[in-house]
């Protein structure tokens, strides 16, 4: 039996097709359902409309739920990069963050001290890097939002207690990360289907304690092929400067200074670019359209000689000063 639909129906359907949000889709679908005459010929169509409405209602509920959780524990990125700490209870994550940043987060002898993510800024030479102190990766309550935070991080710091079977800790941590579909790695490797790859550094903490030297040697023997490692003491403040440098290196970024002809570069506030960036990428940080106007640039640093004239695809290096000519 033909459906015989009135013109208003087609008008509502047109609006349904261009609707952008789940809410607008539901509204127009309900309109279509109300307009549609009820008889045998429209039975199937009406059932289809109801299925669609149910689908969009589900979608909008899901979006609402994730946006609530997301906003509550979403840590806005600041500085040159965001590095998130992962580890088991009592590894010393909070102690470490308070040792290398201005923040004073709660450090305690009992496990599960940190319950929400806490950001803090670490100064390294002329830049700031954001560190995020986290609850233990095994904290079941944290699982839903933990995943989002870790997936969006620029890099991970795997913190283990060198006095407490660190190999087992790294294995537990990587297994937990795997459950969250995150694959930590020392260098970017072959993509793994369904997994998000994250640059990671294994940090052995508490190297002031007995047995930590031997344990670090064993840890390095086991994971040295896969990950960079460092041994430090957050409490005794040992090798913290070296650690800051390693954290910076893990971010795969360079710092450059841009300037117009005749002006001085701002050496205090570098522009942060990812490694492998070109003159054109640096120009884009001035203005989206600026790179099109660019004729050439002069570089002090990575050029063969100071002030060398270079093209837009010239590869930049850390510390370069770039003068744009339009
Ligand atoms: N000897 C020694 N103890 C440390 C060191 N770093 C941290 N600790 C101690 O280890 C315990 C746990 O430190 P926290 O920083 O609270 O550990 P956490 O990893 O943040 O723990 P959770 O928040 O429960 O995940 C505290 O008693 C610290 O004083 C270190 O380098 N050496
Ligand atoms: Mg803590």
Residue by residue, pLDDT tens for the chain (326 residues) are 566 788 888 999 999 999 888 888 888 898 888 888 888 888 889 899 999 988 888 877 776 665 554 445 778 899 999 999 999 999 999 999 999 998 766 777 777 778 888 899 999 999 999 999 999 998 877 677 888 899 999 999 999 999 999 999 999 999 999 999 899 998 766 777 788 899 999 999 999 999 999 999 999 999 999 999 999 999 999 999 999 999 999 999 999 999 999 998 888 889 999 999 999 999 999 888 888 899 999 999 987 788 999 999 999 999 999 999 98
Please give all residues whose beta carbon lies within 6 A of any atom in ligand 1, as ranges. Answer: 87, 89-95, 107-109, 111-114, 135-136, 205-206, 208-209, 233-235
240 falls within a domain? yes
DSSP secondary structure code for residue 234 in this structure: T
Q: Which of 90, 132, 134 to mutate to test the pocket of ligand 1 (most atoms within 8 A of CB)?
A: 90
Which of 205, 234, 250 delimits the end of a domain? 250
Helix H, strand E, coil C: the string for 96-147 is HHHHHCCCCCCCCCCCCCCCCCEEEEEEECCEEEEEEECCCCCCHHHHHHHH
Which pLDDT score, from 0 to 100, does residue 2 have?
61
Residues around ion ligand 2, judged by CB within 5 A, are: 93-94, 113-114
What residue owns the CA closest to ligand 1's atom 32? 206
- Together in a domain, 245 and 300: no
Determine the structural domain holding residue 23 and report its residue range. Answer: 7-73
- Together in a domain, 86 and 46: no
Which of 250, 270, 291 delimits the end of a domain? 250
Three-state DSSP at 82 gives strand
How many structural domains comprise the chain?
3
- Together in a domain, 25 and 137: no
Quick one: which of 269, 268, 274, 293 has its CA closest to 283?
Answer: 293
Long-range Cβ contact pairs of 48-57 (< 8 A, separation 24 or more): 52/25, 53/26, 53/29, 56/22, 56/25, 56/26, 56/29, 57/22, 57/26
The Å distance, Cα 211 to ligand 1 centre, comes to 17
Ligand number nearest to the C-alpha of 238: 1
CATH number, residue 219: 3.40.50.300
The Å distance, Cα 122 to ligand 1 centre, comes to 19
């Amino acid at each position: 039996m033909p459906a015989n639909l009135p013109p208003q129906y087609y008008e509502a359907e047109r609006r349904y097709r261009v609707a952008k949000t789940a809410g607008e889709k539901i509204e127009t679908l309900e309109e279509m359902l109300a307009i549609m005459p009820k008889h045998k010929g429209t039975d199937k169509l009406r059932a289809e409309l109801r299925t669609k409405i149910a689908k969009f209602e589900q979608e909008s509920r899901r979006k609402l739920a994730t946006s609530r959780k997301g906003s509550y524990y979403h840590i806005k990125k600041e500085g040159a990069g965001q590095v998130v700490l992962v580890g088991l209870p009592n590894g010393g994550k909070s102690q470490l963050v308070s040792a290398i940043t201005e923040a004073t987060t709660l450090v305690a002898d009992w496990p599960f001290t940190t319950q929400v993510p806490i950001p803090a800024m670490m100064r390294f030479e002329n830049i700031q890097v954001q560190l995020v102190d986290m609850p233990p990766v095994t904290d079941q309550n944290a699982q839903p939002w933990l995943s989002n935070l870790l997936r969006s991080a620029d890099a991970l710091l795997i913190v283990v207690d060198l006095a407490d079977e660190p190999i087992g800790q790294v294995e537990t941590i990587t297994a937990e990360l795997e459950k969250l579909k995150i694959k930590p790695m020392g260098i970017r490797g072959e993509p793994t289907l369904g997994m998000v790859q994250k640059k990671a550094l294994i940090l052995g903490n508490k190297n002031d304690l007995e047995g930590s030297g031997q344990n670090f040697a064993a840890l390095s023997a086991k994971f040295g092929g896969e990950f960079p490692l460092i041994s430090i003491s957050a409490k005794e403040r040992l090798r913290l400067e070296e650690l800051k440098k390693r954290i910076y290196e893990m971010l795969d970024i360079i710092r450059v200074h841009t300037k117009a002809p005749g002006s001085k570069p701002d050496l205090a506030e570098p522009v942060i670019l990812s490694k492998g960036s070109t003159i054109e990428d640096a120009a884009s940080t001035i203005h989206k359209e600026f790179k099109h106007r660019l004729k050439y640039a002069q570089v002090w640093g990575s050029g063969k000689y100071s002030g060398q004239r270079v093209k837009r695809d010239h590869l930049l290096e850390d510390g370069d000063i770039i003068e744009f000519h339009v």
